[in-house]
Amino acid sequence: METRTTYAYRLYPSRAQARHLDATLETARRFYNDLLGERKTAYAERKTAYAERKTAYAERKETVGLTAQRRRVKECKATNPHATGVHSHLLQVVAEDLDRAFRAFFRRLRAGEAPGYPRFKGRDRFRSVGLKEYGNGFKIDGRRLKLSGIGRVAVRWHRPVEGQIKTLRLTRKAGTWYATFSCVVDAQPLPATGRAVGIDVGLHHLLATSDGAYVEPPHYYREGQRRLRVLQRTVARRTTDSAARRAAVRRLQRHHERVANQRRDFLNKVAHRLLTEYDVIALEDLRIRNMVRNRHLAKSILDAGWGYLARHLTSKAASAGRAVRLVDPAYTSQDCSACGRRFAGLTLKDRWVRCPACGLSLDKDHNAAITILRRAGHARPDTTGAVAPVSGEAVGR
């Protein structure tokens, strides 16, 4: 079985290449805004025509779609001097990105969620461009990445690129450029272990397993808040549109990126250990977007990274031959894992549960993990082992 995976590498462009990359990103941003403006205008004209009951005009005035906007690429390269040296595939990907944003907008609208109409991108709100065919606009040339119109860019190859390269995405984060390759690779299933585990995520413990192991939250964001406050005050004191403010913003962006990298690295290691140890992993299907509406818990929930852990586990399980099962999260912490009796009056402060019906006495998170495993279709938890500590942060009990 073949799967898609991505490999990200840091680029080290020369000063001239960095200017070309910045100019290419700016050209793509302006083209994105032009296409968005075209769609908004077409929608407004169509809506007005319907309101005025000019049915014949409304039928002729079709909504601008992806195919029509792809044709704008040739026109843009012919009329815009800044787009002359930009590869046409790059501008086509811009049109596809906008179309994807509109499809997501209509999906949310149909689902009754906050629709979030696509917005015009400011200078600091447009971060990436893409090329969609290896050998046509980009290719690996020795130890460097050859880009059309930019040249051979130095790359930090910290790991080999595996599989067949399909597309490339160039991203600028905190003033640093990255190349992300999307590759088709053969799935490499891990050896079967015959074990299953239920996982309860929380704030007291980052996660508790049905085996009785715990992983403690590292609190990277909270630990970096003192430095964050200093950087934010520095940005606020700088003059708007000054070089000093741009430098201060860059330092603030790098701090946020460092915290995000720390969190991802830790969660990736936790996920790898779980996928190595277990064939089936049961998780709660949490609605994190609703949970963060609680202003007292929002920061801690987002700092824990529950959503990223679930997405990463699900993504990696496909190629590892593992199964991730999402279960209903209702009352997992309030139901007895032995007899199913619902505990009354439990609060977030209660860390231990005792069942008067069957005599169960257990840590609340451990009990919830066993309940999650049962809801996933396993009669009892696997107790042949536990998740080992990760980077010294996990403590088994």
Q: Active site residue: 99, 200, 279, 335, which one?
A: 200
pLDDT (0 to 100) of residue 51:
58
pLDDT tens-digit map of 139-173: 999 999 999 999 999 999 999 999 999 999 999 99
**Catalytic residue at 2?**
no
Tokens of 370: 């066993």
Q: What angle do CA 29, 33, 34 make, to 5 degrees?
A: 115
Catalytic residue among 211, 363, 365, 382: 365
Q: Could you tell me the two tokens for 8?
A: 């990200």
pLDDT at residue 49 in the model: 62
Residue ranges of the domains in the chain? 2-186, 196-396
| Measured distance CA(221)–CA(263) in Å, rounded | 9
pLDDT of residue 359: 79
Are residues 263 and 306 in contact, defined by beta-carbon separation less than 8 angstroms? no
Q: What digits encode the pLDDT tens for the residues 265-322?
A: 999 999 999 999 999 999 999 999 889 999 999 999 999 999 999 999 999 998 888 9
Judge contact between 312 and 267, C-beta under 8 A: yes
Beta strands in 98-230 (DSSP E): 128-131, 138-141, 144-147, 151-156, 164-173, 176-186, 196-201, 207-209, 213-215
- Label each residue of 239-274 as H, E or C: CCCCHHHHHHHHHHHHHHHHHHHHHHHHHHHHHHHH
| Spans of the chain below 70 pLDDT | 47-63, 379-397
* Catalytic (active site) residue 284: yes
Q: In which residue are the tokens 């601008």 written?
A: 64
Exactly one of 277, 284, 303, 363 is catalytic; which is it?
Answer: 284
Q: What pLDDT score was predicted for residue 62?
A: 56
Element (H, E) at 324: strand 323-327
H or E, element range at 107: helix 88-110
Is there a catalytic annotation at residue 200?
yes
Per-residue pLDDT, 386: 38
